[in-house]
Chains A and B, each alone.
Chain A
Amino acid sequence: MIGGLFIYNHKGEVLISRVYRDDIGRNAVDAFRVNVIHARQQVRSPVTNIARTSFFHVKRSNIWLAAVTKQNVNAAMVFEFLYKMCDVMTAYFGKISEENIKNNFVLIYELLDEILDFGYPQNSETGALKTFITQQGIKGQLQTKEEQSQITSQVTGQIGWRREGIKYRRNELFLDVLESVNLLMSPQGQVLSAHVSGRVVMKSYLSGMPECKFGMNDKIVIDKQGKGGATDDAGKSDLGGGSGKQSIAIDDCTFHQCVRLSKFDSERSISFIPPDGEYELMRYRTTKDIILPFRVIPLVREVGRTKLEVKVVIKSNFKPSLLAQKIEVRIPTPLNTSGVQVICMKGKAKYKASENAIVWKIKRMAGMKESQISAEIELLPTNDKKKWARPPISMNFEVPFAPSGLKVRYLKVFESKLNYSDHDVIKWVRYIGRSGIYETRC
């Protein structure tokens, strides 16, 4: 298991060092600094083996987190733990920075003592941890016996992510369907690969221990119901969205640990007792029938050895009534660019020498429109034999629908002990589609 955990700043100075196993010595701290942080090259692997000691690292801004071991540990678990560790720290004190880590080092040691025992990850749900580890020191002295046993039962219990006795005057929940649409297109407009990775993020402000059931237009479920003849849901399901598709094929999905996986596996129903506040209910991935909100048509022409002509057209492909926002097109330029002249019909375009790219920004754009930019790029003559690699043109945007076509059909809330029903809960649903890696080769 994990033998030790170190946190370094960008210079390689140790900010946190916690050793769990006897086989990890102080020299391990230095080994990582010398061989990885101070190595003057790009990181070639997130796992490094130095003198029969394995180092796993992740970087958050300029902070290095490294887990160390001499055993054959579960590597996936170590990385998941490191991410979790980052989440927990962020939940406690915000951004992970040198300043924040130094300011909270006592807290971090406390957390490390709690969530990692002898290198085995323990309960790391912030909701539970915050009940007894706080930034104002540890609660404990003042707790009553009941409170103490409630803490321990929550930390070790089946529903470790929610405590009992939560009360709200107004029972309310927010569902955000956040999708990022990824595309790789050939210069000829052929889709090389496209997929949507989506997340359903839920903010719940519900009293008691509510039992929830979540439904969406999952093809498998709809087909099953279609056979059974029960299609009454279909009419009132339209809570929003950009397309008129009835159901979508989900390639794969993963759930927060609150969801009963065996029930999903057998009945494909998503039921759970939600954590309080904000959390990610599920992630999913689709590859079929994706609505690609924008199409990029590039045209690059080399005029002699010292000039390039670039023309890029973008076309929006969704309902005219919807508006896309924060549109940004990034056109890479060669390293030996000496000057750029840009003409664009809409938005603003600028050549950014430091980024070797022309950045074209458009604030808003309605569906079924098109816009274009043309640029003349002057090049310095070079004797570099190697041809310019022509990185792809990338795009960023935000649209108010789910490019996968996913729709929320219902979210039912049952709480038998308290006297509120599903109808009393105020529910909000929002769809946001963003660009992931949205690239067109030129």
Chain B
Amino acid sequence: MTDSKYFTTTKKGEIFELKAELNSDKKEKKKEAVKKVIASMTVGKDVSALFPDVVNCMQTDNLELKKLVYLYLMNYAKSQPDMAIMAVNTFVKDCEDPNPLIRALAVRTMGCIRVDKITEYLCEPLRKCLKDEDPYVRKTAAVCVAKLHDINAQLVEDQGFLDTLKDLISDSNPMVVANAVAALSEIAESHPNSNLLDLNPQTINKLLTALNECTEWGQIFILDCLANYTPRDDRESQSICERVTPRLSHANSAVVLSAVKVLMKFMEMLPKDLDYYGTLLKKLAPPLVTLLSAEPELQYVALRNINLIVQRRPEIMKHEMKVFFVKYNDPIYVKLEKLDIMIRLASQANIAQVLAELKEYATEVDVDFVRKAVRAIGRCAIKVEQSAERCVSTLLDLIQTKVNYVVQEAIVVIKDIFRKYPNKYESVIATLCENLDSLDEPEARAAMIWIVGEYAERIDNADELLESFLEGFHDESTQVQLQLLTAIVKLFLKKPTETQELVQQVLSLATQDSDNPDLRDRGYIYWRLLSTDPVAAKEVVLAEKPLISEETDLIEPTLLEELICHIGTLASVYHKPPSAFVEGSRGVQHKRLPGSAGSGESVDSPETTSTAGVSDAPPAVIPSQGDLLGDLLNLDLTPTTAGPPPPAPSSGMQLGGMDLLGGGLDSLMGDESEPLGGDLGGTPAIGAGFGAAPAALPASFSAPVSGGLDDLFDLGGGVGMPMGAYSPPKSVWLPAMKAKGLEISGTFARRAGVIQMEMTLTNKAMSVMTDFAIQFNRNSFGLSPAGPLQVLTPLSPNQSIEVALPLNTSGPVMKMDPLNNLQVAVKNNIDVFYFSCQYPISMLFVEDGKMERQIFLATWKDIPNDNESQFQIKDCHLSSDAASNKLQGSNIFTIAKRTVDGQDMLYQSMKLTNGIWVLAELRIQAGNPNYTISLKCRAAEVSQCVFQSYEAVLKN
């Protein structure tokens, strides 16, 4: 007898024939017909038209036939709900059958028929079956409650099935317990806050007892359920662990993994100094290794989980490196996972072995695997410093193979090695450059370009190399374009003389010819940096980069904790939280590991303290490809570490940063004191660079820029102005007559916390001027240029150029008279010229000059009255609020306001860059244009200058 013939009927009129056969009197014929129907159903044919005829066959003593009809019903009942009712009677009758197998079959099938009317009839039989004398019926009924809940949750609650289900946890039969646990766990998932499972020490004890007796599947249900419990203290935690550990010897891998999950979770609560804790750690490794001799699919699941376990508790597997060596015949998915774990376990102790293996793998067939192996060599170099040299030479060997993808992958990792060990392996650059032409993948090209840019000063033909990439600029991927832009700017900053043309070319390619906003933005930032303040540009672009850390591709700790709670499940295979791939309410609940109870140690401490070689600092993750923002921040725009810190640490810079992105949101809100979303702009350096350039493009640069671009700049510069510090209009400092045709007019400004000297240099002579430089004489506040004077292009006759020179206050100090006098020397190719100018002292008011009320009062009293000076400010028509706002723009902060007899008293404070505090009391009488100001300061000499600033700020 073969049933395969049923699959081969393809005749037309088949349905009609089947109908006739189904209604035949002969039992055998009927059965044959139903089999044919099921076969058709299986292959996807629509046989729903036969519904009434099939259901007619249901009334039979033949259990096999009955099962087939039920199978049909489960498939089609939903599409024919009215006719499905015909089956109800049979079901109800079967639920009373003396044979427990038939009772169970009926209740099992009824639960699978998702038709409301049938569901109604299900309740009574189900209630009986839940209390049936036969355990087989009870275990089937337990699952049926979950089915019913899926169809109609309300009904299950109303009928009190949940309570009955809970009672089954205490059933004498272990399989009934297991199924009840499974059903309750599933129902509880869709009611995250209900205390359905109600796990308490008593129920836990029942579960642990059933664990020893039920089937392998039941053990999994129970262990998965146990994992949701949080023991009350370390004692209880230990006793559960003790009862779960025997499961680690089970032949079923799923039982083992679920037991591992429970242990990993409950271990968190055990004190680390407990002997048992160490014993438990030792017990976990062997079963995990054993999982690797299972079938490949299970190995894959196990490896994905071991990957998580190794990240959470590296000590468990640290001696097991060898078992992760790849076998030649492993399926590719197993190979790739093993490789990942090998790198995680690599340490000084085993690095030689690991490297030998990796080198072997790099000659294999599968391209993905080879690439990963090459990448792994690089990761080893970064992780184990002692091995770096060997890794680099291995990589060079691989490059010599000239296998295209190997070379490319090697170059990508060598870039990372350079980041980790700067100035150590640059001798290999020559070899890398030889392979420039064979690079066709964006990541490799980008890496190579980064290397050329970073080490431009050591590569003689760096400009030629980069120029060759520039030819096909628009065909490159964004990654390469961005890298090329940065590399050329670096090159320019290092070798400005020969590469001006190149940098202009790339800037215009990036800003004008590209539709990519990232590229354009980066282009503009560089452009403006270079044009307004090349010193800052150098500090920003050539800043020392933070070293990358050894641990890469780590899973973020909170996610890792959640995944540990999901060991064995799909979430642990995908390395994603369930909410990322499960629809609806299920699995949305986030699981967390319990905190440690016994000791005061933090949960994280064990691995940071017990594993050698893991640094304390949180590891920086190497940005994955395409992560442009990360790339931008990591490679180019890191905060400068060289030189003294800028005078104003936080708020002003954040304002600058915000201008970049928010377009001066603060001015719209009218509240400038709180830097909104200050971090948006990224690093302070961006903010400073951008905020410092109020439409100060030199003619040569601004010419090609379109109108739209100007708008962009206006937005950035213009919005900052009203709120920014007061800056006096430019005045002529050095007349052309005194300086052989060079005229300098200028002013000072404080923008985004940086003091700027803004100058217009005009060439009124007949010859070209080049080689500008600037120097200050010693002065009262130690002002000095923060970088060289950047006049990039030669200044031709009758041309002017705007220059902004950032200043710092770390220069040598000498008291001047007047206090704010500054003597300057400017040099060009013609001669050296001297002039002096005065800066408004408000430039030196720092952003954190707001004093606390209490301190203000105390300080005011503390300063002797001799140090107080009074001034009159005449002809000022501002209200007290407007004045206060205006002053605040220049970092004069109003601390309190009092109104006495129609006179407003503003108490204000400001702080100078050298830490001197100045306190002020400003009296404003309504209707009187004359203000009175009292200044108190420990260094009374500044008062005069401060008063002048007050006057200047208020009157402009």
Contacts and interface: CB of A to CB of B under 8 A. Distances in A.
Contact of A46 (B136, B297, B402): B297
A71 B70 CA distance: 26
B42 A14 contact: yes
B332 A42 contact: yes
A255 B258 contact: no
The listed residue with most B CB atoms (<10 A of its CB), out of A1, A45, A69, A282, is A45
Nearest to A47: B573
Interface in B132-184: 134-137, 139-140, 143-144, 146-147, 150-151, 173-176, 179, 182
A261 B182 contact: no
Contact of A75 (B35, B38, B71, B570): B570
Contacts of A224: none
Nearest to B362: A389
Contacts of B403: 385-386
SS class of chain A's interface: helix, strand, loop or mixed? mixed
Contact of A252 (B6, B287, B302, B401): B287
Contacts of A132: 101
Contacts of B114: 22
Nearest to A259: B249
Nearest to A441: B360
Contacts of B331: 43
Interface in A96-129: 99, 102-106, 109-110, 113, 117-118, 120-125
A101 B316 CA distance: 44
Given A1-B186, A145-B98, A437-B327, A120 B179 contact: yes
A218 B581 CA distance: 46
Contact of B250 (A83, A197, A254): A254
A47 B102 CA distance: 36
A86 to B, nearest CB: 10
A174 interface: no
Nearest to A158: B213
Interface residues of A, number: 106
B38 A106 contact: yes
A285 to B, nearest CB: 6
B295 A83 contact: yes
B4 A103 contact: yes
Given A44-B332, A113-B67, A58 B182 contact: no
B245 A283 contact: no
B99 interface: yes
Given A54-B581, A140-B99, A254 B256 contact: yes
A156 B134 CA distance: 10
Contacts of B243: 262
A253 B249 contact: yes
Interface stretch (B14-22, B58-66, B784-792): B58-66
Interface stretch (B216-224, B387-395, B441-449, B519-527): B216-224
Contact of A392 (B4, B63, B151, B328): B328
Contacts of B327: 184, 437, 439
A113 B108 CA distance: 9
B369 to A, nearest CB: 11
A285 B293 contact: yes
Contacts of B99: 140, 143, 148
B301 A75 contact: yes
B143 A120 contact: yes
Contacts of B612: none
B731 to A, nearest CB: 69
B217 A43 contact: no
A283 to B, nearest CB: 6
Given A141-B61, A156-B173, A117 B287 contact: no
B572 interface: yes
A74 B569 contact: yes
B573 A75 contact: yes
Given A52-B581, A184-B325, A109 B363 contact: no
B182 A120 contact: yes
B289 A285 contact: yes
A193 interface: yes
Given A74-B568, A261-B249, A106 B68 contact: yes
Interface in A130-168: 132, 137-138, 140-141, 143, 145, 148-149, 151-153, 155-158, 160
Interface stretch (B582-590, B861-869, B886-894): B582-590
Interface string A191-204: 01101010000000
Contacts of B151: 22
Contacts of A113: 67, 70-71, 108
B147 A152 contact: no
Nearest to A42: B332
Contact of A109 (B4, B38, B364): B38
Nearest to A99: B4
A308 B144 CA distance: 68
Contact of A71 (B2, B357, B364, B582): B582
A396 interface: no
A252 B484 CA distance: 55
B62 A58 contact: no
A13 interface: yes
A201 to B, nearest CB: 12
Contacts of B39: 105
B333 interface: yes
A251 interface: yes
A437 B331 CA distance: 14
The listed residue with most A CB atoms (<10 A of its CB), out of B150, B402, B569, B571, is B569
B572 A75 contact: yes
A192 B220 contact: no
A441 B182 CA distance: 49
A67 B566 CA distance: 20
B108 A141 contact: no
Contact of A156 (B43, B44, B136): B136
B300 interface: yes
Contact of A72 (B212, B300, B332, B569): B569
B622 to A, nearest CB: 23
A7 B67 CA distance: 20
B482 to A, nearest CB: 30
A387 B363 contact: yes
Interface in B309-325: 322-323, 325
Interface in B568-621: 568-574, 578, 581-583, 586-587
B581 A79 contact: no
Contact of B295 (A1, A79, A195, A387): A79
The listed residue with most A CB atoms (<10 A of its CB), out of B137, B150, B186, B216, is B216
A391 B328 contact: yes
B217 A122 contact: yes
A58 B182 CA distance: 25
B673 interface: no
A73 B570 contact: yes
B217 A72 contact: no
Contact of A257 (B75, B100, B215): B215
Contacts of A75: 301, 568-570, 572-573
A138 B64 contact: yes
A285 B254 CA distance: 18
B582 A72 contact: yes
Contacts of A252: 249, 286-287, 289-290
A386 B43 CA distance: 47
Given A16-B42, A52-B581, A140 B287 contact: no
Given A26-B44, A148-B99, 19 more contacts: A22-B114, A69-B570, A70-B582, A72-B566, A72-B571, A73-B570, A74-B254, A75-B568, A75-B569, A76-B256, A80-B216, A109-B67, A113-B108, A117-B108, A140-B102, A152-B137, A158-B213, A253-B290, A441-B360
Which A-B residue pairs are the 5 nearest by beta carbons?
A: A252-B286, A102-B4, A152-B136, A76-B254, A265-B246
25 contacts: A15-B42, A22-B150, A43-B333, A46-B333, A58-B295, A72-B586, A73-B569, A76-B253, A76-B257, A79-B295, A79-B298, A105-B3, A117-B179, A120-B221, A122-B139, A123-B175, A138-B67, A157-B173, A157-B175, A192-B325, A254-B256, A257-B251, A261-B212, A385-B402, A385-B403
